[in-house]
Amino acid sequence: MRKINEECGIIGIFGQKKQNVAQMTYYGLHALQHRGQEGCGIAVNDDGVYKLHKNTGLVTEVFDVRTLESLGEGNIAVGHARYGTAGSKGAVNCQPIVVNHVKGNLCVALNGTLVNYAELRSELELEGAMFHTTSDAEIIAYVITRERIKSKSIEEAVNRAMGLLEGAFSLVIATSTKVLAVRDKFGFRPLCYGVTDDGTYIVASETCALDVLGAKFIADVTPGEIVLFNKQGVQNIKDNCGKVQECPCVFEYVYFARPDSVVDGSSVHEARKRAGRFLAMEHKVEADVVIGCPDSGIDGAIGYAEQSGIPYGLGFLKNKYIGRTFIQPEQGMREKAVRMKLNVIKETVAGKRVVLIDDSIVRGTTSVYVVKLLREAGAKEVHMRVTSPKFIGACYYGTDIDSPDKLIANKHTTEEIAEIIGVDSLGFLSIDSVKKIPSNYACHNYCISCFTAEYPTKKPDLQGKSKFESKITKNV
């Protein structure tokens, strides 16, 4: 039922002694599965040598007991859960990326997208670099390796490389003795770290992964910061902080992050409830029940109900046993696929005026099916309210919406969209309100480029990147 796909979830582990870090990483990736369901991988450092396993599929499909045991024990591990953008799917682009060079080894996992990918790739190829993937992570690994050869330490190399990388990148980087957590200067994608009772440090995209591993949250990696973990403890390097106006992605709160996570100090669950309350104030309607479209619309529905006084009801049951690897049906079978994933609780909606809360409308196709299910279940009226503004701009910072061409709000007015998806009324959250849904909104200038089509960086050369992707596809 997901309509926009986030690039990745990443995790890194640094322990003071050897332990089953592969299993720890597995549990952490499972908590981050919502961020990437196309492929995953785990790399474990054992006495200076990285053992790596990665493939397409969910975490539970790629790893079993035997596979995890084959990775052995160690004190350092890096994990990645991936969703691939169009043209770059398949096992070839799964992460982490492991590179061996004259000064040692390097393991990289990335959440984000470089806007200067094409320029960097061309430059590196002219210098003799040979690429096996179209992953932005491989570009980053090569840039860091090149700087490492000229630097005294990995942290110095990463610090220098950050001045060459443009765009969104939250990174876990590991050598045979160190783990680094890195966040781009804008802070587009989240990254945090914590520590367990035995002194093992965990870096993860979201706090929900720390919770699963029993780690106590320490801090978010601030935009531009490098956090170094080694035998001596933790070192914070902030040479690249404060160089630009930070702008974390507000859509993390609207949709991407798990509701039990806390991102940059703000509860995702509370942010979504707040969005629902704002919606109730901006788009009032007379109705009998408020329901949420699973999963990210539920919190907004609760907030809308609290503010409006209209009772909240459980409108849908979601089948949680159908993952992304479920066989995609032909065009004529798509409606049945939706029914397999989502079923209406008729007693909640039959004969009633229903307020349906969802997080976004991107292409509109899913909304058509959902509204049809409600009508067939006997809903008297369906009033749709969306906890984000109209999605009109491409996102170049870590999602698969890299073109505005298929966005329904680019071609139709609100009234036209309402008619297309079959609702009695439709209301979107205002841009002013979406910026206020995180509890600490006054501290941040959030990225809302997907709602405004105005960007804090230059736009990427998508044609240039497609050229490299075509090259890799032919070779595969």
CB 11 within 8 A of CB 78: yes
Task: Report the sign of the C-alpha dihedral through residues 273, 275, 276, 280, in that order.
Answer: positive
The position carrying tokens 């992605």 is 249
The widest CA-to-CA distance across the chain, in whole angstroms, is: 71
Return left, alpha or beta for 134; rule: phi > 0 is left, psi -120 to 50 is alpha, else beta: alpha
CB 191 within 8 A of CB 183: yes
CA nearest neighbour of 400 among 29, 58, 2, 42:
2
The position carrying tokens 């796909």 is 5
Catalytic hit among 8, 208, 249, 450 = 8
Provide the 10 A C-beta neighbour count for residue 292: 29
Is 450 considered catalytic here? Answer: no
How far, in Å, CA of 7 to CA of 39, rounded?
Answer: 11
Alpha carbons within 13 angstroms on the beta-carbon side of residue 319 total 13
How far, in Å, CA of 104 to CA of 161, rounded?
Answer: 17
Active site residues: 8
